Amino acid sequence: MKIIIINGPNLNLLGKREPEIYGGKTFESYFGDLQSKFKDLELEYYQSNIEGELIDKIQEVGFTYDGIILNAAAYTHTSVGLGDAVKAVNTPVVEVHISNTYKREAFRHKSYISSCSKGVILGFGLKSYELAIWSFL
């Protein structure tokens, strides 16, 4: 089984950025933990701060992979294009957020991705990614 995690803007700063919200661990370190835990899966990771690159990656993998875990970060709340990319592909997508976006600013309560995703997992810290992986098994 082949699953990719696609992370959007500023998630490359995990471990440094707002640790009271996002924790103190880098995503690279956490990704290594996931690979160790799910040895029978082919896990990949991609991150970009650029909306078009995220759309390109979804289109690239969206017809051949078994699952996409997408944390579009701030683009979740602004990008019709990312929502359209998720709608356009066959691979199921699980939307993930580290924080509970409904406990944050009102603009974070809107998602252009949720309605076209297999499911949404949010608010469980980095563990949200592991829960998303389990949803494909």
Q: Are 126 and 101 in contact (CB under 8 A)?
A: no
pTM, whole model, 2 decimals?
0.95
Position 128 scores a pLDDT of 98
Which residue among 30, 45, 97, 112 is the active-site one? 97
Q: Given this model, what pLDDT does residue 64 score? A: 98
The active-site residue, picked from 22, 65, 112, 129, is 22
| Mean pLDDT per 10-residue segment, the chain (137 residues) | 98 89 90 98 98 98 98 96 98 96 82 97 97 98
CA distance 135 to 60: 22
Q: Please report the pLDDT score of residue 103 as a whole number.
A: 81
Q: What pLDDT is stored for residue 41 in this prediction?
A: 98
Q: Is 77 a catalytic residue?
A: no
22 classed as catalytic: yes
